Chains A and B, each alone.
Chain A
Amino acid sequence: MSLLNVKNLRTSFYTREGQTLAVDDVSFSLNKGEVLGIVGESGSGKSVACYSLLGLVPSPPGKIEGGSAIFDGKDLLKLNEKALRAYRGNRIAMIFQDPMTSLNPFMRVGDQLIEALRCHNKTLSKKAAKEKALSALEEVGINNARERIDSYPHEFSGGMRQRVMIAMALVTEPELIIADEPTTALDVTVQKQILQLLKDLQASHDLAVIFITHDLGVVADMAKHILVMKNGRVVEEGSPADIFENCSHPYTRKLIAAIPQSAKPDEFKYDSSHEDFVEAKNVVTHFNNTRGLFRQRIVSTVKAVDDISLNIREGEIFGLVGESGSGKSTFGRSLIRLVESQAGDIRIGKHRIRELGNTSLREARRDFQMIFQDPYASLNPRMTVFDTLAEPLLLHKLAKKNEVLERVNHLMDEVGLERKHIRKYPHEFSGGQRQRIAIARALAVEPRFIVADEPVSALDVTIQAQILDLLLKLAKKHQLTMLFISHDLSVVRYLCDRVAVMQHGKIVEIEETEKLFLSPQQPYTQKLLSAIPRIHTN
């Protein structure tokens, strides 16, 4: 008999715009000790389906419309809140995406574990609970757990925090763990460790796991069975082999195709005979931690960019990869002086960036633009698309008042947005469309050089693929030179001509993209490349 049997689950949200069926007739079952993968993009209903099981969908606006979820003989959907609490965290535990925000920042991690134990077992003494918490922390690989148990979440690194989260789920010895995008917020090498940990724990505890993710690669060699969800419905299911080799639904095919695994298309390759357009020599950017009454004493220095030299040829898309904290963003910002560097020499086109005064820097900014990771945060929410796009045109006197509308319409065409949306505000667009707006804003002033800082990492894979293609097309059309910063190696492989790998503020390796991917020379590059989750197909 299966441990969990979900039949015809339907969950709606009631909002001002009306009712939306977030989970539409979803059924699946799971045996003890089995791993089920649920794959889909944001808004596909994969998380809501699992939250519904435990009554964690906020209500209102959410409402479970029907179906059943039999867990060990009891229908979870029929239980009242109090009865459900006996299951939550006790027999069914959850691991959430972002351990930074999902752990209570005001509470010691030990207390958060002990609390999970003691709320289901009132007779357990504090001391016994602490011992259990300690062994759980040790099991997930927290070194010297006895000291760390009294730390607060912010004192751990991202990967360690996710380990704490896993320990918290594990400590009550549940039968089922629901892991909601447990590795999405992590660096690729850390992701690999956490996935391995989950795999080990699943086997050693004979756990049933529902693994929710947007990344097919992550679940490929872990799950026994995979559901692919879209718009609240299961569009395809089967074993990983079925999904990858004989998928029938076009959406699944699109998902698989969207995972960039290929090299840069030949038609977009740059001409390596071009001159260098960007030259950076021995760039150093340090951040000082200061103390004292007037912040006059420097106590420690973070060497975010530590003596970096590189050249980018005209028309080249140059990739800069590294894990979070490697200094890649700071370098990108130092190049175009959004951050002041302390030493070095930077040339972009005819501008010697570090020597420009305030006025000439402002004028020069026309020639280099930046695209940010999160278009929602970097677009002004109180400006319409038209205002956003018209502002740089007027500011740099690139268009007269009466030409502005025409120019903005043209920009909309270029980035693939419909002209009729011109008076809308950023929140009215989807993530992909917002990034198109951000790209249009950068292009408005007809720059020669663009720094793109993780422009696709907040997007779903299928959208990501569209934006990457758009960038390739635009770069070729406008002869753009681009520094493309990313932690995602497959994206870089698809887009970039050459790649630099950064670690601890230094460049580890610079190479032609394909050469780097096929025969990485440095151990760190090898480690990074081997951590990419791969889909093994026979």
Chain B
Amino acid sequence: MLRFIAQRLLTAIPVLFVVILITFTLIRLAPGGPFDQERRVPQVVLETLNKRYNLDDPVHVQFFNYLGNLLKGDFGPSFKYPTRTVTEMISTGLPVTLELGFYALLFAMCIGIASGVVAALRPNSLQDYVPMSLAMAGICLPSFVLGPLLILIFGIGLNALPISGWNATPGDKILPAITLGAAYAAYVARLTRGGMLEVLSQDYIRTARAKGLSPLRILTHHALRGGLAPVVSFAGPAAAMLLSGSFVVETVFQVPGLGRFYLQAAFNRDYTMILGTTIFFATLIIIFNLLADILLVWLNPKLRENMLKS
């Protein structure tokens, strides 16, 4: 198992390198630079700034300098906010984003798995159609529609929940978490239904019934484990997406998370910030995919044994 993890982490290095290379090249190719303003900046100032941030070096030199610093754990200074480093900025937004992402993930898993299982137990009945239609709606509704809608209903109409802020009033985390998690809940519901339907038609479920087990025990002890495999594969990348923050949800609910940095950085041509957030996001995806794979192996004894052998 350790070998497997080590192997996967080793292969992550070239992946990250390519991600950095592509991002680095693309942002240099994009027109404009970090110091372009609406008003033209005097040539002298521009040159000084470029010199200050070593932007006057040849591109490949800049690239290797950046890599060198990265190896030391230095993501560089932000070009837009000269007093702060990229590391600082990511680490201030990170705790909030992680918390919000965690709640959203929790919401997505609980609601998604539950409704998927309910739907799979009686396929093609009302019990199937209602949750699955809701799930379809959940996938179709973008969060910039769902968020304001929830605010309108629960915040303004029912006056039941706070509509913005983070950690300011009790319950202010509920609406953003639901808004962020809704689409994922919908995907999880559909995947759970599909996985469960497949497992429930397996011969060993018939064996379990022939043993006289109760439906609940068949569900919990025989069906869920196999039925959730597709959910687990989806949960890896989904967790990475959720935990890296969402610009829309954070803006709608005034949450001081990471999400807004992505967009701002891109608009501002804040080279180091763009690279920093991209690397962060790529790393999250790699890690969570690895976690999902480990979980899948752990769930399936046959895979587990193959893994232990090699």
- Complex Cα spacing A94 to B210, Å: 6
Please name the residue on chain B nearest to A97 by beta carbon: B203
Shortest distance in angstroms between A172's beta carbon and chain B's nearest beta carbon?
Answer: 8
Q: Which residues of A contact B213 (CB under 8 A)?
A: 85, 89, 115, 119
Shortest distance in angstroms between A439's beta carbon and chain B's nearest beta carbon?
Answer: 30
Chain B interface main SS type: helix
Among B10, B212, B226, which residue has the most Cβ atoms of chain A within 10 A? B212
For this complex, into which size category does the number of interface residues on chain B fall? 20 to 34
Q: Given that A106-B300, A119-B214 are contacting pairs, would A101 and B204 also be in contact in the complex, using a CB cutoff of 8 Å?
A: yes
Q: Which residues of B contact A93 (CB under 8 A)?
A: 210-211
Q: Which residues of A contact B206 (CB under 8 A)?
A: 56, 96, 102
Shortest distance in angstroms between A13's beta carbon and chain B's nearest beta carbon?
Answer: 15
- A102 and B207 contact, CB distance less than 8 A: yes
Among B226, B300, B301, B310, which residue has the most Cβ atoms of chain A within 10 A? B301
- B217 and A119 contact, CB distance less than 8 A: yes
Shortest distance in angstroms between A265's beta carbon and chain B's nearest beta carbon?
Answer: 39
A residues 238-266 with Cβ under 8 Å of B?
none
For this complex, into which size category does the number of interface residues on chain A fall? 20 to 34
- B225 and A106 contact, CB distance less than 8 A: yes
Chain A interface main SS type: loop
Q: Given that A96-B203, A104-B204, A152-B301 are contacting pairs, would A88 and B222 also be in contact in the complex, using a CB cutoff of 8 Å?
A: no
- Complex Cα spacing A167 to B208, Å: 14
Shortest distance in angstroms between B227's beta carbon and chain A's nearest beta carbon?
Answer: 10
Contact code string B192-232 (vs A, CB < 8 Å = 1, else 0) = 00000000001110111111111001000110011000000
- B203 and A101 contact, CB distance less than 8 A: yes
- Complex Cα spacing A54 to B211, Å: 10
Report which of A86, A89, A103, A155 forms a contact with B305, defined as CB distance below 8 A: A155
Please name the residue on chain B nearest to A171 by beta carbon: B211
- B300 and A88 contact, CB distance less than 8 A: no
Q: Which residues of B contact A155 (CB under 8 A)?
A: 305
- A89 and B302 contact, CB distance less than 8 A: no
* A381, CB-defined interface residue at 8 Å: no
Q: Which residues of B contact A96 (CB under 8 A)?
A: 203, 206-207, 210
- A88 and B217 contact, CB distance less than 8 A: no
* B299, CB-defined interface residue at 8 Å: yes
- A119 and B207 contact, CB distance less than 8 A: no
Q: Which residues of B contact A423 (CB under 8 A)?
A: none
Q: Which residues of A contact B310 (CB under 8 A)?
A: 291
Q: Which residues of B contact A104 (CB under 8 A)?
A: 204, 207-208, 222
Please name the residue on chain B nearest to A290 by beta carbon: B310
* B7, CB-defined interface residue at 8 Å: yes
Contact code string B159-187 (vs A, CB < 8 Å = 1, else 0) = 00000000000000000000000000000
Contact code string B270-310 (vs A, CB < 8 Å = 1, else 0) = 00000000000000000000000000000111100100001
Contact code string B220-254 (vs A, CB < 8 Å = 1, else 0) = 01100110000000000000000000000000000
- B7 and A106 contact, CB distance less than 8 A: no
- B299 and A56 contact, CB distance less than 8 A: no
Q: Given that A90-B212, A155-B305 are contacting pairs, would A107 and B222 also be in contact in the complex, using a CB cutoff of 8 Å?
A: yes
Shortest distance in angstroms between A94's beta carbon and chain B's nearest beta carbon?
Answer: 4
- Complex Cα spacing A106 to B210, Å: 18
* A116, CB-defined interface residue at 8 Å: yes
Q: Which residues of A contact B10 (CB under 8 A)?
A: 293
- Complex Cα spacing A398 to B214, Å: 61
A residues 80-122 with Cβ under 8 Å of B?
85-90, 93-94, 96, 98, 101-107, 115-116, 119-120
* A216, CB-defined interface residue at 8 Å: no
Please name the residue on chain B nearest to A178 by beta carbon: B210
- A115 and B300 contact, CB distance less than 8 A: no
Q: Which residues of B contact A116 (CB under 8 A)?
A: 211-212
Shortest distance in angstroms between A68's beta carbon and chain B's nearest beta carbon?
Answer: 21
- A86 and B203 contact, CB distance less than 8 A: no
- B217 and A106 contact, CB distance less than 8 A: no
- B302 and A119 contact, CB distance less than 8 A: no
Q: Which residues of B contact A152 (CB under 8 A)?
A: 301-302, 305
Q: Given that A115-B221, A119-B217 are contacting pairs, would A105 and B302 also be in contact in the complex, using a CB cutoff of 8 Å?
A: yes
- Complex Cα spacing A165 to B208, Å: 12
Report which of B204, B210, B211, B301 forms a contact with A115, defined as CB distance below 8 A: B211
- Complex Cα spacing A115 to B301, Å: 19
- Complex Cα spacing A63 to B20, Å: 62
- A154 and B210 contact, CB distance less than 8 A: no
Shortest distance in angstroms between B127's beta carbon and chain A's nearest beta carbon?
Answer: 13
- Complex Cα spacing A104 to B208, Å: 8
- A89 and B221 contact, CB distance less than 8 A: no
- B301 and A88 contact, CB distance less than 8 A: no
Among A89, A96, A106, A120, which residue has the most Cβ atoms of chain B within 10 A? A106
Report which of A89, A101, A106, A291 forms a contact with B211, defined as CB distance below 8 A: A89
A residues 110-143 with Cβ under 8 Å of B?
115-116, 119-120
Shortest distance in angstroms between B289's beta carbon and chain A's nearest beta carbon?
Answer: 19
- Complex Cα spacing A103 to B204, Å: 5
* A168, CB-defined interface residue at 8 Å: yes
Q: Which residues of B contact A54 (CB under 8 A)?
A: 210
Please name the residue on chain B nearest to A119 by beta carbon: B213
Q: Which residues of B contact A88 (CB under 8 A)?
A: 209-212
Q: Which residues of B contact A90 (CB under 8 A)?
A: 212
Among A89, A93, A98, A168, which residue has the most Cβ atoms of chain B within 10 A? A89
- Complex Cα spacing A184 to B299, Å: 30
Task: Write 5 A-B pairs (CB below 8 A) sorted by A numbering.
Answer: A56-B209, A96-B203, A104-B204, A105-B301, A168-B207
User: When A and B form their complex, which 5 residue pairs have the shortest distance between CB atoms, in order from nearest?
Assistant: A89-B211, A88-B212, A89-B212, A101-B203, A94-B210
> Chain B: residues with CB nearer than 8 A to chain A?
7, 10, 202-204, 206-214, 217, 221-222, 225-226, 299-302, 305, 310
> Chain A: residues with CB nearer than 8 A to chain B?
54, 56, 85-90, 93-94, 96, 98, 101-107, 115-116, 119-120, 152, 154-155, 165, 168, 291, 293
Taking A102-B203, A107-B222, A119-B212 as known contacts, 11 extra A-B pairs with beta carbons closer than 8 A to each other, sorted by chain A number, are A88-B212, A89-B210, A94-B210, A96-B206, A98-B203, A101-B203, A104-B207, A105-B300, A115-B221, A152-B302, A165-B207
